[in-house]
Structure 1
Amino acid sequence: MDIILVPGLWLDASSWDPIVHALRAAGHRPLALTLPGVGAPASESADIGMADWVGAVVEQIDAAGEPVVLVGHSGGGNVVWGAADARPEQVRRVVFVDTAPPAPDYSISEFPVVDGVVPFPGWDFFDDEDVFDMDAETRARTAPMTKSVPARVPTDPVSLTRESRHGVPVTLLMGSLDTQGFETVMAEWPESDAEYQAIADTEVLKIGSGHWPQFTVPDRLAELILAVVE
């Protein structure tokens, strides 16, 4: 099965390296993407927005020739949900990694823009619940892997227009939340909760990690992905 792996902000295809081997060894065809404009200066990335990121995933869906599984980490969740909306009949399942399906016209978040791009703000920028399992060695090893993203992307709304996206099965692999905890959090965001509730087939599985399980518990993340795609 084709499994398209979409990284979150500041990461490229190499961020999935810790789990790609396990997916391939299980007989699947993982394809990790680097999205347009990642690591590029403003002169090359100023016009790149969420639609371009979604389009890059849709291009790979079309190339696959059969239904695929989409996996989106963090801000990549907006990207894969936009792609599922564009090609609902060609997506077998969407797996969200420590993120949730966005409501129509929602954006990822807002971060400081420097020299026309959004640089990685550093591990200390994030709440402890996101990085508690990233020790000094992991932070030092992974920080050089981060790259800037186009300035428009984090605040660009995702276009969702097809109600048929709600028929695509969804798995939410949450770092520290089980189903009850996830739904409690979602209830605080009515529009996002409405999007979640509209999906016909959902499941929430707790990873037991911070926000970057591909770096801290890659074996566990691979195991969970394999369990839901087989």
Structure 2
Amino acid sequence: MTHIVLVPGFWLGAWAWDDVLDPLRSAGLDPVPVTLPGLAPGDDVAAVRRADHTRAVTDVLDGLDGEVVVVGHSGGGAVVGEVLDRRPDRVRRAVFLDSGPLEDGASLALDLPDDVAALDLPAWDELQAAGSSLDGVDEAGLARFRRLAVPHPARVAREPVHVTDPRRFDVPVTAVCTSVPSQMLRSVAGGGPPFHTELGRYDVTYVDLPTGHWAMFSRPADLAAVLVEEARRD
């Protein structure tokens, strides 16, 4: 059995992956969607730190037998990058869905004021203006997104990533490019500002799946097919 651990991005819980679970199971995979600390209704958001998110995913890996593929969407990609650093021998492949791993010391929102405890889901036009395309998500999908989304722990966004083990680069990765085409992503994968990604240091397979930022909402069947193919890739 190959387990495929699904790590969502900002404001999302395990529910975000609902529409891809059945196709993954039908293909013989064991999907394990994750709700990170602070992302369940009623969680103490202000107390959650970046290390809590990384630890939550490594705990999931430690409880699984068999091969593991880890998928990180959006801000979840930074978490997956740290998971590869902590468990390089445990992950068969990592998949970055419209995301990527951050280099050591980088942050998703370094300038976020210290007195901000949580980040609310912005208005749709603010998300679009910030580059998070909603293409392909219908009105029902947007309504569900808005209804189920919860504030994201600000410290997770503000605190820097810590990665030190060079063995993380031995893990093969796939970059699934949805709102940003692979040709563009390749051009910025080498690191440095403004994105501070270390994606270019990995052995990367690039896959284009043109849609918006939230492919699990806009093209769930096609996304599941990509994840199946990548989970089986040698």
SS at match of 1:104: coil
Q: Tell me by how many angstroms 1:159 deviates.
A: 1.1
State how far apart, in whole Å, the 2-side matches of 1:136 and 1:111 are: 31
Is 1:117 the equivalent of 2:128? no
Task: Give the gaps of 5 or more residues in structure 1.
Answer: none
Is 1:3 the equivalent of 2:14? no
Q: Tell me by how many angstroms 1:37 deviates.
A: 1.2
Residues 116 and 194 of structure 1: CA distance in aligned 2, closer, same or farther (over 3 Å):
closer
1:72-123 per-residue CA deviation (whole Å, 9 max, x = no partner) reads 0000001111111100000000000001121112222366899732211132
Contact 2:121 2:150 in 1 (8 A): yes
Contact 2:8 2:72 in 1 (8 A): yes
Is 1:66 the equivalent of 2:69? no
**Aligned-pair identity (%):** 35
Contact 1:112 1:118 in 2 (8 A): no
Contact 2:116 2:154 in 1 (8 A): no
State how far apart, in whole Å, the 1-side matches of 2:194 and 2:164 are: 15
Per the normalisation by structure 1, the TM-score is 0.90
Answer with 86-95 or 173-182: which moved more: 173-182
Q: Number of paired residues? A: 228
The aligned residue for residue 99 of structure 1 is: 99
Give 2:171's match in structure 1, choosing from 168, 171, 190: 168
Q: Tell me by how many angstroms 1:150 deviates.
A: 1.7
Residues 179 and 120 of structure 1: CA distance in aligned 2, closer, same or farther (over 3 Å):
closer
SS at match of 2:89: helix
SS at match of 2:144: helix
RMSD: 2.4
Q: Tell me by how many angstroms 1:151 deviates.
A: 2.3
What pairs up with 1:127-146 in 2 under 5 angstroms? 127=128, 130-146=133-149
State how far apart, in whole Å, the 2-side matches of 1:84 and 1:188 are: 17
State how far apart, in whole Å, the 2-side matches of 1:192 and 1:138 are: 29
Contact 2:102 2:196 in 1 (8 A): no
Contact 2:70 2:80 in 1 (8 A): yes
Answer with 207-216 or 110-119: which moved more: 110-119
State how far apart, in whole Å, the 2-side matches of 1:188 and 1:56 are: 27
Letter aligned with residue 102 of structure 1: L
SS at match of 2:102: coil
The aligned residue for residue 150 of structure 1 is: 153
SS at match of 2:4: strand
Residues 114 and 191 of structure 1: CA distance in aligned 2, closer, same or farther (over 3 Å):
closer
Bigger share in helix: 1
Is 1:53 the equivalent of 2:53? yes
Residues 193 and 105 of structure 1: CA distance in aligned 2, closer, same or farther (over 3 Å):
closer
